[in-house]
Amino acid sequence: MNDQGLKIVIHGITDVGQSREHNEDAISWDTRLGLALLADGMGGHNAGEVASILAVDSIKTSLADVVTPEIVASGVVDYQEAVVDAVGFANREINEQSLENPEYAGMGTTLVLVLFLNHSVIYAHVGDSRIYRLRNSKLQRLTSDHSLVQEMIDNGYLSHEEARESTSRNLITRALGISEEVDVDIAMEDTEIGDIYLLCSDGLTDLVSDQEIGDVIMHNRDDLDMVSRTLVDLANQKGGNDNISVVLAAVYKAYSDGRDDDESATLEIDMGETD
């Protein structure tokens, strides 16, 4: 929600990839709310799809009730709390359905979301879907995977390179729907004009490096449709062994698309904190 001369442009694609029968990823956004969401579901049959769609729809519906111009202007709502509540509510809905329907037993989903509020953005995640931010020429990973290999990296047992090759890299340590409570990582930061946020599933990051992701965004930063298609194409060219999803959200001035680029700038990569 922006009333201060900023415009949030959002674009995304979800793709089944080259080897899966179903697409269990779900993406959704609402430009008016300044909200973008991505979920990567898991579970037998179609349960993963059910979980991921339920997550994005439920959270979007919950937040639409509180992200109105009047309520934002009133300053009475703590939006980080509102996001945690919305994710918690979605978690319980998925968990209840998984307990009620045998075919949905054990279903769960990752989640990443960004919510833009005037000059700041709230971002939240559960699982191994990621959020990156390109600011000027620097790509920064804003999330730390809730996964076994990330824990091993944090504890010094595995390098980033070894983690990329690990056969257990898809084992996640947190997900929505698998128990009554969920622990959400949430943060807030100021935005700058020209920032581009990328939400993506592991179908992208397992195959496409941070360097490649940064290069694609840098070179097409005024065309989010092109960025989305190029990233998905790259993952498919490298095998596309999982569903691939990307959502890009850019902060522009209300009266202009894009920004003046420094074409000569070189990309820097920040892998994020490994705390």
Contact positions vs Mn ion (CB under 5 A): 40, 201-203, 242
Give the nearest distance from C-beta 128 to Mn ion in angstroms.
8
Radius of gyration of the chain (CA): 18
Give the nearest distance from C-beta 170 to Mn ion in angstroms.
7
Spatial separation of the C-alpha atoms in residues 223 and 38, rounded to whole Å = 20
Residue 217, both tokens: 């965004």
- Nearer to Mn ion by Cβ, of 15 and 202: the residue is 202
- Nearer to Mn ion by Cβ, of 204 and 251: the residue is 204
- Nearer to Mn ion by Cβ, of 2 and 144: the residue is 144
What count of residues does the chain have? Answer: 275
Residue 259, both tokens: 């920004």
Strands 25-30 and 108-109: unpaired
Query: Rounded to 5, what percent of the chain is helix, strand, coil?
Result: 35, 30, 40
Question: What is the secondary structure of 237-252 as a DSSP string?
Answer: HTT--S-EEEEEEEEE
Spatial separation of the C-alpha atoms in residues 238 and 101, rounded to whole Å = 37
Spatial separation of the C-alpha atoms in residues 169 and 38, rounded to whole Å = 19
- Nearer to Mn ion by Cβ, of 28 and 201: the residue is 201
- Nearer to Mn ion by Cβ, of 20 and 135: the residue is 20
- Nearer to Mn ion by Cβ, of 17 and 34: the residue is 17
CA distances from 168 to 44, 150, 158, 200, 272 (A): 19, 11, 12, 19, 21
